[in-house]
Structure formats: structure tokens, C-alpha cells
Structure 1
Amino acid sequence: MNDTTTTSLGLLAGKVALVTGAGRGIGAAAARLFAREGARVLLAARTEDQLKTVTDEITADGGTAAYAECDLADADSVRAAVEQAVDRYGRLDVAFNNGASGQRPGPLDQTPEADFDRLYAVNLKGQWLAMAAEVAAIRATAGSGALVNTSSVGSHGANPELPVYGAMKRALNSLTESAAVTYGPEGIRVNAIAPGGTRTEMIREWEAESPGLLERITAHTPLGRMAEPEEIAQAAAWLLSDRASYVNGTLLRVDGGARL
């Protein structure tokens, strides 16, 4: 396994960052990284014990972090998490909208309607709710800032194993581009990242439902391996930082070349 831990460059020094889906996987890696890069971080997710564990790790390492339980399918919960970041730290500068729900692999005609509704509520509507609340908070406090949404390499084309998941992520790409055009003139940049196969709990759950999935992903990745969560988080940190000050409306593939 590659060691992806890096020395802090202070990419997010002085910023207040909100991270959704921060209890595990890419979101947890991002929360740790953002704190190391100087941000004060508000972690948001549904599972309190996971949030507490990551928050305690950050503070034990000298970082500044707190958490809010947040269900992206609940509009009041989403708005409350954004408000908590502002209440605790006095402002909001950047947000990483990473939270998502997975689907059981399989063709679209075998996807239960309830699963479709859940994926829509969390992976699309929940992102829309978060972006709207975050833009309002940035406007009212920092004045300018940046958002990054987590899309997927599976949003680029046909996704027969995860058709509804892929469709919601493709719709998120459109929301990202529209938001970039709308809020760019205010100094609020909006971008997205499209991770390829990444060693997270979600992809291990997919592997359990579709044995051989990890091998298939790796076989189609020129770098010949899966990504570590921090490698994805590094891309988000850069896009949120002032180093990416002229990057807006971009869908950045972080997929090891899988779609080349």
C-alpha cells in the first residue's frame, strides 16, 4: 500500500471548512487533511460514533474540529450543519460535499424504487440543499470561497453495474457547472472531483455484492491499483485552496487514468 501522508503546506490556513460524509472513507481522510492544512473543520455525517472518532483524532493531532450529525436526505439537518459551522467558527469559507449513498450493483430494472428514491434524496437533492445553504453562509460571512462536490468516474458514461448511482452523479456534474457559472461572479468557485476506484467502505460493500469488482476496476486502471482515500482528499484540498483560484466549473478526474 502506498504511503500518501504528506507534510502540511498550509493550503487551507485560516479557513473554515465543512465536510459532509466525514465519518469514514474519503470524507474522513479529507477532514484530517484539511485540519493538517490549517483549516478549522466541521465534520458532518449520520453516524455519531464515527464522527466522534475522527474528530478526536484530529484534535489529538493538534487540529481544530467539531462535528454535527447530518442526514443529507433531511433538509433541516443539512441546513443545521451549515449553521453549526458558522455558529462555532464565525464563518464558512469552503465546503467539501462528499456524503453519498451507494446502491446494490445490478441492472436498472432490478433496482427497487425505494433505492432510487434514496439515491435521489441523498446523492442529488442532498447535494443541492448543501450547496444552497453553503453559498448563503459564505455570502453572509467570508464573502467569497469555494465548494467541491464528489462525483464519480462512473458519471462519465454508461454505468451498467451502478446505473442509478451513476445517473445521480452525472446530474451532480450539471449542478456543479451551473453553480460555477452562477456564483463565480461573486467569488465563489464551484468544482467537482470524479474519483476512480478508491479503498473505501462503500466500494468494499459493492465488492461483496459483485465479487471481482475490485479486480475489474484495477484491470482498467493504467496505474494498476486502487486509490487511497487521502489521494482523493488531496485533490479536493487543492481545489478548495487559493492555489486553485482560477479553477471554476471543472470536473477533475482522480482515477489513475481509468477513463483514458
Structure 2
Amino acid sequence: MQIRFDNKVVLLTGGGGGIGRASALAFASAGAKVAVTDRDVAAGEETTAQVKALGAEALFIAADVMQAAQVQAMVAQVVAHFGRLDCAFNNAGIEEEHMRLADCEEATFDRIMGVNVKGVWLCMKYQIAQMLAQGGGAIVNTASVAGLVGAPKMSAYSASKHAVIGLTKSAAVEYGRKGIRVNAVCPGVIRTVMLERAVQADPKVAATVAGAHPIGRIGEPDEVAAAVLWLSSDASSFVTGLAHTVDGGLTSI
């Protein structure tokens, strides 16, 4: 089955690279009109340029998902430009800790929860309001396998991703009868900037995490993007409240 998004409008946060960029390009290739957002203007504009190079309509919006006014304005700008909002991929997120819980600084905890939890909550708040007004839509949030199991030396990150899954399931129940589906993707270790930072800190990490996945390798951003597109499409029309793993079997161990 070929998944298409012709004449559909898609909003992605954290679109400046990695899973966000791969998803933006995948949506564009499937016919969508794509709004890319990121705090990193240069990275976001580069993704937008790549989307346009595929022949798709695209818009870049610089936004901090922790700021309610910016998120509200972001959604309003998408609707003003494209006329509606059919799908949203809330992908913006950070991880800044590789330490035991008692060693994590309060400021680090607050920053992780601010972006990963408050950011997703704010995005859904304003996206859902628009989708209610127009009669439906689909939302996908980026959680993590760390939202399904414990993650040593990443307690705040793990807590934030458990919270994303809780927000996802609650919203799915609340708005299912209003034509709004809400799901989450839970990636394993994916070849992104986050992984690059971890490898720079400890070169042994790459081989260790690759071997931890039963499939025997690290995942690619395109593989997560494929799941995001399916969850956003009519092909998954009876799917909501799902925390969908894309983890090479990691959580099956």
C-alpha cells in the first residue's frame, strides 16, 4: 500500500535534523504540504529547502516549544498559510544527562521536562484546538523506548518519555470520538546527533548499542519516519493511543 498525503498539511517540530528532517522529507515525497519548526533557524531552513527541492510546498517557522505564545502562534501561522492542519508530528526533544539520578542537576531535570513534556503538551493543546474546529486530524508524538522501560543514567529523560506516552494515551481517549487520533513512536537507538554526541563521549557506545538490538544494528531516521507516516495516514485509521516501537526488538528482550 502506497501512503499518500496529497493536499494534506503537516506540521513537524524539531524538524532541523535526524528523525524530524527524515520525516519532513518523507511527508514531502508523499505529497504533503510541510511546515517545519525548530529553534535552530539554520537547521530548520535547511530542512525546508530540502523539502522544497522535492517539489513540495513548505514553510519554516522558528519556535521554542516551551513557550506557549510561540506554540500558539506557530499553529496559527500554519493555518493562515495553508488553510488547515491535518497532521502534526511533535518531535522536538532533548537529552542532556548521562549520570545517575542523584547526580542530575535540578536545572537539567527542568530543561528536559520543559522541552520533552511541556513542549509536547503545549503543541497538542493548540493542535487539537485547530483539529476540533476543522473536524479531525492525526497527531504523532516522539517518545522513546526509554518511555517504556527504565534507562540507567537517563532518569529524567526516561521520565519525560514515559510522560509523553501518558499524554498520548490520555489525548487519544479524550478526542477519539472527535475524529482526532493520537499515537507515539518509541525509537530505539537511532543514528542521530544525540547518538553522535554519545559516541564522541565514549567511542565504545556505537558497538555496544548496536549489539543490544536483536536486529543487530542501529536504526536509521528514515525507518522511524516510515512509522510516523503510517500512524499519520488513513492506513492506520483504527489505531489510536498506540506507543509504537521502532527499536529493532530492543524492548522484546
Contact 1:10 1:38 (8 Å CA) reproduced: no
Output the aligned Cα RMSD: 1.3
Q: Deviations over 1:42-79 (max 9, x none)?
A: 00110111111111111122111111001112111111
Contact 1:22 1:44 (8 Å CA) reproduced: yes
Q: 1:232 aligns with which of 221, 224, 228?
A: 224
Q: 1:245 aligns with which of 237, 245, 251?
A: 237
Amino acid at match of 2:143: S
Determine if the alignment matches structure 1 residue 112 to structure 2 residue 96. Answer: no
Where does residue 194 of structure 1 map in the other structure? 186
User: CA–CA distance in 2 between the matches of 1:131 and 1:10?
Assistant: 24
User: CA–CA distance in 2 between the matches of 1:258 and 1:9?
Assistant: 28
**Secondary structure at the residue paired with 2:138?**
strand
Where does residue 250 of structure 2 map in the other structure? 258
Alignment gaps of 5+ in structure 2: none
Amino acid at match of 1:91: R
Cα deviation, residue 122, structure 1:
0.4
Q: How does 1:207-222 map to 2 (within 5 A)?
A: 207-222=199-214
User: CA–CA distance in 1 between the matches of 2:171 and 2:3?
Assistant: 27
Cα deviation, residue 126, structure 1:
0.7
Cα deviation, residue 195, structure 1:
0.3
User: CA–CA distance in 1 between the matches of 2:97 and 2:206?
Assistant: 15
**Secondary structure at the residue paired with 2:153?**
coil
Contact 1:93 1:145 (8 Å CA) reproduced: yes
User: CA–CA distance in 2 between the matches of 1:54 and 1:90?
Assistant: 22
Q: 1:92 aligns with which of 82, 85, 91?
A: 85
Determine if the alignment matches structure 1 residue 131 to structure 2 residue 94. Answer: no
TM-score by length of 1: 0.94
Determine if the alignment matches structure 1 residue 181 to structure 2 residue 198. Answer: no
Q: How does 1:60-79 map to 2 (within 5 A)?
A: 60-79=53-72
Of stretches 174-183 and 198-207 in structure 1, the one that deviates more from structure 2 is 198-207
Q: 1:162 aligns with which of 144, 154, 171?
A: 154
Determine if the alignment matches structure 1 residue 42 to structure 2 residue 31. Answer: no
Contact 2:5 2:30 (8 Å CA) reproduced: yes
Determine if the alignment matches structure 1 residue 223 to structure 2 residue 223. Answer: no
User: CA–CA distance in 1 between the matches of 2:205 and 2:154?
Assistant: 12
Q: How does 1:6-45 map to 2 (within 5 A)?
A: 9-45=2-38
**Secondary structure at the residue paired with 1:38?**
coil
User: CA–CA distance in 1 between the matches of 2:3 and 2:167?
Assistant: 29
Q: 1:59 aligns with which of 52, 55, 58?
A: 52
Where does residue 140 of structure 1 map in the other structure? 133
Cα deviation, residue 104, structure 1:
2.5
Cα deviation, residue 9, structure 1:
3.2
Displaced runs of 4 or more, over 6 A: none
User: CA–CA distance in 1 between the matches of 2:17 and 2:40?
Assistant: 9
Where does residue 121 of structure 1 map in the other structure? 114
TM-score by length of 2: 0.96
Q: Deviations over 1:127-153 (max 9, x none)?
A: 000001000111223x11110000001
Q: Deviations over 1:3-39 (max 9, x none)?
A: xxxxx93522221000000001100110111011111
Amino acid at match of 1:226: I
Q: Identity of counterpart residues, as a percentage?
A: 41
Of stretches 154-163 and 15-24 in structure 1, the one that deviates more from structure 2 is 154-163
Amino acid at match of 1:129: L
Where does residue 102 of structure 1 map in the other structure? 95
